[in-house]
Structure 1
């Protein structure tokens, strides 16, 4: 079993196809397919179910991929540790972030890190908090900036609280609440909502506040995954939304209304429970975070 074979399997799993995986790995598809077939023969199990339209992990493949990711991460970590011992930080820094991160200027921090550590390959992925936490656990991400309700648990990762704030309502011009400075949560509960996807941490922040106030679940007609799309639908008059107060000021063309009682949100930075790699440690240090 070779590391390159593991890379090929992970690439197919993440891209959903052999052609895209070969492009990512910079090899011809026949070579990638041959190596995966060799690995399947060695393991005595098929890792993928292939049809003319799709490629899906088998049960064996679903069990293999997380371990393969961890193995690749360990190999990358070993290389980075050796290079760091010689005085130069190299390797990769895979960062994840929610679309509403506001506790830090992430673009500025990544730019400053690139200046300090030019030999590190930086990547950024934007997703919902729950997915980001899981990817940090699996080693697909080194660090992630997430937003959760106060008291939410994040098992399997290390973390630091960055900021606390409230959610506010955003409504389109001409809405009955547009001229108000604040409103009660019970009044807002009568509105149709544009909200983040059901089950996401962002959705739970509002759901928990409704539940604590004894209110029924909101009427969510439109589910989104980014604050930009949420704002676009609210501007179109399709509903109202709730976003962090620090983000609301950046959404042009919308009116911001404070809510009482207000849902709360905590922004956190999370990284591997096994400790950070040298690039991740350097990034965390730049943020003033003690990763020990």
Structure 2
């Protein structure tokens, strides 16, 4: 077993195809097949279920890929550590939800780059569940997500607490009037968004089960739809006031148990971390 075998195994698992794995690994399919066979013989377990259409991980394969990703991550970090100079550099990929990307990412990037100008910092936005999954699978170095997080594999640092509010067009009279509408529409991100979940929880608690969901993929789009009176949404009050205070919008407060939401920085525990990630974590650990 060597590092290249593990990377070939990961490629087959990700793409579900020996042919595609060969393409991305710049080798031939026969070599991919041979390396997987060698791995399975060494581990004395079948890693993939093969059909004429698809290759998928077995139970043993799912278990092994976690170790494979951890091993490749540790080796990559070791190489970076050995090559390090007096300057902290490298790449960091940080995840966050769309509102954090718009609202906080520029400030985070500015503050961090002032202290560590040689680190290439990249942000990726997605839903909470996808961000957590990407951190667990070494696709992200860390992520800002709503907390608490119930995972023994993750560390979490509390960053801040926000108040969520219902956001409507100026024409809306009250939440009670809103909830009595026969054609109520909500303007939200896709399933997995914590804001959407809070809004749906509020509606269900008030006995509202009939409503239309309009799904958009940007905060700007959601604001435009709400301002035009096409539906209502739920967003952090600070975000609305700071960035959209001049728009034709109205906000309504919610009960404390629904309105308050905490954000934490999460990252994998018990694995070597690059100097760049250690510095990023330290910046927030000392501020909060």
> Following superposition of structure 1 onto structure 2, how do residues 93-242 of structure 1 map, counting pairs within 5 Å?
93-101=92-100, 105-107=104-106, 109-110=108-109, 116=116, 118=118, 123-148=122-147, 152-156=148-152, 157-171=154-168, 177-180=169-172, 183-184=174-175, 187-188=178-179, 190=181, 191-198=184-191, 200-210=193-203, 214-216=205-207, 218-222=209-213, 224=215, 226-228=217-219, 230=222, 239-242=231-234
Higher helix share: 2
**Higher alpha-carbon deviation: 229-238 or 128-137:** 229-238
SS of 2:174's equivalent in the other structure is strand
TM-score, normalisation: structure 1:
0.73
Q: Which residue of 1 aligns with 2:4?
A: 4
> How many equivalent pairs are there?
277
1:258 is aligned to 2:243? no
Give 1:74 deviation, angstroms.
2.0
1:278 and 2:271 correspond: no
Q: Which ranges of structure 1 fall in alignment gaps of 5 or more residues? A: 172-176
Cα offset for 1:41? 3.4
The 5 Å alignment of 1:21-32 reads 21-25=21-25, 27-30=26-29, 31-32=31-32
Q: 1:258 Cα deviation (Å)?
A: 1.2
Tell me if the contact between 1:192 and 1:218 (Cα under 8 Å) persists in the aligned partners.
Answer: no
The answer to which of 158-167 and 97-106 deviates more is 97-106
Match of 1:57 in 2: 57
Distance 2:12 2:123 in 1: 20
List alignment gaps of at least 5 residues for structure 2.
none
Q: Residues 133-174 of structure 1, C-alpha deviation per residue, up to 9 Å, x if partnerless?
A: 2332343322101134xxx34433222232322223344xxx
2 CA distance for matches of 1:23 and 1:107?
A: 37
Give the structure-2-normalised TM-score: 0.74
Given the superposition, is the C-alpha separation of residues 38 and 20 from structure 1 closer, same or farther in structure 2, using an over 3 Å criterion? same
- Secondary structure in 2 aligned to 1:94? strand
Distance 1:236 1:61 in 2: 50
Q: How does 1:33-52 map to 2 (within 5 A)?
A: 33-52=33-52
Deviation, structure 1 residue 203:
3.1
Structure 1 residue matching 2:98: 3-state secondary structure: coil
Q: Deviations over 1:196-229 (max 9, x none)?
A: 4455533333345456xx4135545336473446
Alpha-carbon separation, structure 1, partners of 2:180 and 2:10: 44
1:268 aligns with 2:264: yes
- Verify the 8 A CA contact 2:103 2:239 in the aligned structure 1: no
Cα contact 1:69–1:140 (8 A) shared by 2: no
Tell me the SS of whatever aligns to 1:226.
coil
Secondary structure of 2:151's counterpart equals coil
Distance 1:2 1:183, change over 3 A: farther
